[in-house]
Amino acid sequence: MIKIELADRVKNLPPYLFETIDEMKRQAVASGVDVIDLSIGDPDIPTPKHIVEAMQAAVAKPEHHQYPSYAGMLSYRTAVADWYKTRFNVTLDPKTEVLALLGSKEGIGHVPLAFVNPGDIVLVPSPGYPVYPVGTLFAGGESYIMPILEQNNYLPDFKIIPPDVLKRAKLMYLNYPNNPTSACAPKSFFEEAVALAKRHDIIICHDAAYSEVYFDDKPPVSFLEIEGAKEVGIEFHSLSKTYNMTGWRIGFAVGNAAVIAGLGRIKSQLDSGAFHAIQEASIAAIKTEDAVLAKLRNTFQERRDVMYAGLTGLGLKVNKPQASFYLWANVPKGYDSTSFVAHLLEKAGVLGTPGVGFGAPGEGYIRFALTQKIDRIKEAVERIKKVL
């Protein structure tokens, strides 16, 4: 037997947060617990019927059974560009400023490989999506943590980033509507980010996966709506959350043509593109009437209102979501985020996500996902009430 040793980049990986959560759930279910899973952002609502039917028709076409195009079907990229014009009044060239992705996670994780050399710095918001620092690690870069804190409306404070860090920074991740805090960013914040990027030659990669899951008829802005944004960065989108298509693995990146081209070069070496039938069905998704999406948003808003009222009624301090389908709550005194999650699972059969799993600044918080029906959310609140 030969000696098999993991590469340092893998040895240095923390356990993937949601894999750990899955294992906790498996153990609880195996022991007979009726678990109400509010941990992972995987919508329980089926993909809309017209998208499924478009997929059923597309998968039967023999021309879709061969290797797909690396950048994505031009018809898919054109549909994305048309949607951006309608939704955000942002003009995109579908040939050079739109790239198909195997879900936004894949593009977010791969983009540092195109632009970050060993020793370069990537500015990473924390608490945040675990893929940001992991993609940086794989590229040999160093993550500089930008804390996003409650007292600053969960926006990073660019003024406290040291000059020597800004000098070495090559790339910055941003994410609004935010996961896990559910915060939204105003245009003034994005204007500040664009100005910073121009001064220091930093590529901005904005993760906008939750832009279409919003509440109270207040749609979030796009980073690319800001003057000069396309000169400094790109925006990532996923069809997963908007259209309940998490398992389909389809998304896109849009914006600066040079950044899109660099990411495309990495992808052409590592994958062979998204299945054309999925892209064709995704065109039907992108063209979905807003009345259908409004119904989905209303469902999540109803769940938000019930969960928010329930948790605050128990005395927990909760950030009321403006968008996304997460509630970010302070844990009670006497617990840290991990012990509180363990307590709720063991005593109440309710599973949340510990805030520290999104980075050290997330300690003291728990994230609940609105991915269960109303009756289960109400039951979760009642169970939590009994063990607090």
pLDDT band at 18 (very low <50, low <70, confident <90, very high): confident
d(CA 83, CA 283): 10
pLDDT band at 117 (very low <50, low <70, confident <90, very high): very high
Mean pLDDT of the chain: 96
Q: What is the pLDDT of residues 189-248, one digit of tens each?
A: 999 999 999 999 999 999 999 999 999 999 999 999 999 999 999 999 999 999 999 999
Tokens (6 digits) for 256: 């600066």
- Which CATH number describes the domain made up of 8-45+291-387? 3.90.1150.10
Q: What is the mean pLDDT of residues 171-187?
A: 98
Is residue 114 pLDDT above 80, yes or no? yes
The answer to whether 341 and 35 are in contact (CB under 8 A) is no
Contacts of 321 (CB under 8 A, 6+ apart): 182, 215, 304, 308, 327, 328
d(CA 180, CA 21): 15
C-alpha to C-alpha distances, 315 to 24, 258, 321, 366, nearest whole angstrom = 26, 50, 17, 14
> With pLDDT > 70 as the criterion, what percentage of the chain qualifies?
100
Q: Which fold has domain 49-286?
A: Aspartate Aminotransferase; domain 2 (3.40.640)
pLDDT band at 13 (very low <50, low <70, confident <90, very high): confident
Q: What is the pLDDT of residues 121-136, one digit of tens each?
A: 999 999 999 999 999 9
pLDDT band at 12 (very low <50, low <70, confident <90, very high): confident
d(CA 8, CA 189): 37
The secondary structure of 348-385 as a DSSP string is H-EE-EEGGGG-GGGTTEEEEE--S-HHHHHHHHHHHH
Predicted pLDDT at 92: 98
Q: What is the pLDDT of residues 137-159, one digit of tens each?
A: 999 999 999 999 999 999 999 99
Predicted pLDDT at 22: 82
Is residue 16 pLDDT above 80, yes or no? no
d(CA 222, CA 89): 10
pLDDT band at 251 (very low <50, low <70, confident <90, very high): very high
What dihedral do alpha carbons 376, 378, 382, 388 form, nearest 10°?
100
pLDDT band at 372 (very low <50, low <70, confident <90, very high): very high
Is residue 15 pLDDT above 80, yes or no? no
The answer to whether 324 and 182 are in contact (CB under 8 A) is yes
| 8-45+291-387 and 49-286: identical CATH topology | no
Query: What residue spans define the domains of the chain?
Result: 8-45+291-387, 49-286
Is residue 40 pLDDT above 90, yes or no? no
Q: What is the pLDDT of residues 305-350, one digit of tens each?
A: 999 999 999 999 999 999 999 999 999 999 999 999 999 999 999 9
The model carries a pTM of 0.95
pLDDT band at 20 (very low <50, low <70, confident <90, very high): confident
Predicted pLDDT at 126: 98
Predicted pLDDT at 278: 98
Q: What is the mean pLDDT of residues 65-77?
A: 96
Predicted pLDDT at 252: 98
